[in-house]
Chain A
Amino acid sequence: MGAIRERALAWLYTRPEARAWALLAPGGFWLLLFFLLPLLIMFVYSLMPRGIYGGVEPGFTLEHYARFFDPLYLQVLQRTFIWSIGCTIICLVLGYPVAYVIARGRRWRTFLLFLVVLPFWTSFLVRTFAMIFLMRDTGLLNNWMLKLGLIQEPMTILYTPFAVMAGLVYGFLPFMILPIYASLEKVDLSLLEAAEVLGARPTARFRRVTLPLSMPGVVAGSLLVFIPALGSFLTSDLLGGAKQVMIGNLVQNQFSSARNWPFGSAASFIVMALVLAAVMFYLRVKDRGPGGATPI
């Protein structure tokens, strides 16, 4: 043992960059080999002709990307996009008031924040199942509405676009609340006092001071909701049934029943590209950020 230890120490001294390498190598190679390389393979596969038994055949083709101009798949893309944006807007409308109440209300702040963070660490599968439990035909929601006399017979809620949207909002709402809260919490209250002294009504104070200063949080929150919504799979799979297909389900389908790997890879690459585009957009907006971040 001693000899190895001596050799290791000598190595560390004689080659300063060796230390960096020794620290970097295991994790770095893991990420290279099992994260980056697979993405690369996926991209290459998306450009190759389809094999008969699932795989690919040698060659080059753009047909898998061209297929997205087919109305059927264009519709899936469109639906994914519209639902993701819809989900983002609903989360914004519901999440902003909550973030505002947490930031401005002096009482129970820690507890209210805790309640927002809690779903983050709740299994997504379990949460989706909870929605099924509520929304299915013999579920609690129908049961309550029947008892209250709001409806005469069970209503179909599950497997409708409404169910998927409810599931998406339920799943990603906390991502919206936290960043907005963070930027609202930083707003300097003396600015609001100044506005009041200068005669601004509460609505004007909100519109002219609070809202602009919370924009970084709004942008960050919107991205944090939009990105996972774009790539969501479980929600539409379990709450949407066969008709409410999003692009994530399309990808999964190509690898299970349809056995068209290159087309699935192309679809998957499109999701990845959209997500990265959204991240790039966010980084650019953040750097120029209105209010808070960069003083004028």
Chain B
Amino acid sequence: MNMRLPRWLIAVSAAVYFFLHLPVLVLVIFSFNDSKFSVDWQGFTLQWYQRLLERPDILRGLKASLIVGAAATVISAVFGTLLALALARQRFCGRRALEGFLYVPIVTPEIVTGISLLLLFALLKFPLGLTSITIAHVAFCISFVVIVVLARIQGMDENLEEAAMILGADEITTFWKVTVPQLWPGILSGALLAFTMSFDDFVITSFVSGPGSSTLPIVVYGMVRKNVEPSINAISTIILLTTAILIYLADRLARAK
């Protein structure tokens, strides 16, 4: 059968790919442009990257993002893995409901999650800062970890655990020596996803961050609002590169044998 694709179809697809990738490509290229205002190419420079190092707000934002990201990642990776194990291995009432409920944080618009958490913190008089941001990030990262780890468990051989038990290992030893090593790529991949989500999040963070606890996206948003300048291109490029590397690693791990 003739399976050649019509020309117009390929043309439309090419245009769509162009539309999907041109903006970011241009953004990255112009982070190296030697001109503050012009959108004409004026020559290569790294000055916009050097500028970043002179801005204390960006460095502080980066630090805040890394702290929150690390904390949120560890907590959601541990709790998410436990939840995934419960869902995969245990029989309890409400298992089905819980499995469905895990998707609710994923489909809920960020703005809704953000303001509802703001209301909670306000009601509890909980101070807004790095802790409240971390709590919020864990709340939306857990689901992603559970889904990734669940996929890993489903491909796992339960016989190995049984064998360990028969050979005399108790439950705790079996868990650490047999279950966790097998799950490890899944857990790591879930953790990297969680870190990426946390590192990227703007909307939810903007509601639960207080004065002096701005993460990198909050700082960048402030810059975008104020003025469009080449250092935003530079910091954007760095963010893009960071997430790209993390996602690449997460993907490699998820496929690991």
Which residues of chain A have a CB within 8 Å of any CB of chain B?
A: 5, 8-9, 12, 17, 19-20, 22-24, 26-28, 30-31, 34-35, 37-39, 41-42, 45, 55, 94-95, 97-98, 100-101, 104-106, 112, 115-116, 118-119, 121-134, 136, 138-140, 143, 170, 173-174, 189, 192-193, 196, 227-228, 230-234, 238, 248, 251-252, 255, 261, 264-265, 268, 271-272, 275-276, 279
Contacts and interface: CB of A to CB of B under 8 A. Distances in A.
B236 A27 contact: no
A126 B240 contact: yes
B166 interface: no
Given A122-B240, A123-B200, A268-B116, A143 B111 contact: no
Contacts of B74: none
Contact of B109 (A12, A104, A124, A248): A248
Given A140-B39, A143-B39, A271-B112, 9 more contacts: A23-B83, A24-B83, A38-B119, A38-B120, A41-B119, A97-B16, A101-B5, A126-B240, A264-B115
11 contacts: A35-B140, A38-B117, A41-B116, A122-B244, A125-B200, A129-B232, A134-B23, A140-B30, A174-B20, A234-B202, A272-B108
Contacts of A233: 109-111, 203
Given A5-B172, A272-B108, A131 B23 contact: yes
A199 B193 CA distance: 50
Q: Is the interface of B mostly helix, strand, loop or mixed?
A: helix
B186 interface: no
B112 A231 contact: yes
Q: Is the interface of A mostly helix, strand, loop or mixed?
A: helix
Given A98-B17, A104-B3, A35 B113 contact: yes
A93 to B, nearest CB: 9
A134 B9 contact: no
Contact of B112 (A39, A45, A133, A143): A39
B239 A26 contact: no
B21 interface: yes
B82 A27 contact: yes
B10 interface: yes
Nearest to B37: A138
B23 A24 contact: no
Given A24-B86, A132-B228, A230-B109, A115 B78 contact: no
Nearest to B136: A34
A97 B224 contact: no
B85 interface: yes
A272 B112 contact: yes
Contacts of B69: none
A63 to B, nearest CB: 18
Contact of B30 (A133, A189, A228): A133
B236 A130 contact: yes
| Closest 9 A/B residue pairs (Cβ) | A231-B109, A38-B116, A130-B23, A27-B79, A23-B86, A20-B90, A27-B83, A34-B139, A42-B116
A41 B116 CA distance: 7
Interface in B9-23: 9-10, 12-13, 16-17, 19-23
A35 B40 contact: no
A140 B22 CA distance: 11
B37 to A, nearest CB: 7
A30 B80 CA distance: 10
A125 B215 CA distance: 13
A115 B17 contact: yes
Interface string B118-158: 11101100000000000110111010001000000000000
Given A133-B30, A140-B39, A192-B1, A265 B115 contact: yes
